[in-house]
Amino acid sequence: MERFLGAVVQMASGADRAANVARATALAREAARRGARLIVLPEVFAWRGTATDDPTAAEPIPGPTTTAMTALARELGVVLCMGSIVEAVPREERRYNTSCLIDPSGAVIATYRKIHLFDVALPGRVAVQESATRLAGESAIVARTPLATIGCSICYDLRFPELYRRLAAEGAEVLVVPSAFTFPTGAAHWEVLCRARAIENQCYLLAANQTGTSPHGHRDYSNSMIVDPWGTVLARLGDEEGVAVAELDPTHLARVRAELPALTHRRL
């Protein structure tokens, strides 16, 4: 790992794919202008519509969104975490919620399909059954990039520490968490989960969230953030669309792991 700037992009995505991709492109360019070399987009950044339109909005990989984002990563010379998109699956009624990691040459070097699906009912607050329209992925994904070794995850995965421990055990130095965390669960748990996953795995963590109100009527929590391996929040956004940038320092990472070598003390 080398010293570099990372960025999280916060968006209020809707059902207009072209507008969403244009907005993501503009915000990624802003992050690059500010010096970011790793840029993380939010979950479902390219299309976020109703369940009725979901089947026709799904797209293959490679497809139009990955084509646009690989060209953008190549143009900016950055590592780009392509948030997530709705991935079409041949001969299946359900789709994957899929994130791609793209290197500065524009090559897709990792494809991660969300493992943990958000099936939750909080009376009077939020009810979501992601498994009704999504298939669960099966593989934990770690990718070695020119900047760092990156472990992939999406949103609800944040509640499952065993996934992140596997990513750390496979060499992850940076964890990416594109998200569309709802307000009720986010207000209670978002920051503590982000900080906990960074602390217990002694990794940098970049969590890019959606903001505004989803097409399903749920308010998003916003508060995209970058957390260091000691659990310090280095940068965060409020409720607006935008970009947050912070330095990721391998010397600090090595010092945390050397002074409190918890990863080497594991017995289970």
Residue 27's pLDDT band (boundaries 50, 70, 90)? very high
| Rounded average pLDDT over 19-27 | 98
Q: Which domain holds residue 259?
A: 4-264
Q: Quote the Cα angle for 144-147-151, to 5°.
A: 45
Identify the pLDDT of residue 50. 87
Residue 133's pLDDT band (boundaries 50, 70, 90)? confident
Residues labelled catalytic = 43, 114, 155
Identify the pLDDT of residue 121. 74
The yes-or-no verdict on residue 162 having pLDDT over 90 is: yes
CATH of residue 232's domain is: 3.60.110.10
- Which of 192, 166, 180 minimizes the C-alpha distance to 221? 180
| Rounded average pLDDT over 114-123 | 85
Identify the pLDDT of residue 52. 86
The yes-or-no verdict on residue 241 having pLDDT over 90 is: yes
The yes-or-no verdict on residue 120 having pLDDT over 80 is: no
The model carries a pTM of: 0.96
The yes-or-no verdict on residue 109 having pLDDT over 90 is: yes
Higher pLDDT, 213 or 224: 224
- Number of domains, the chain: 1
How many C-beta atoms surround the C-beta of residue 33 within 10 A? 10
The yes-or-no verdict on residue 166 having pLDDT over 90 is: yes
Work out the percent of the chain whose per-residue pLDDT is above 70: 100
The yes-or-no verdict on residue 123 having pLDDT over 90 is: no
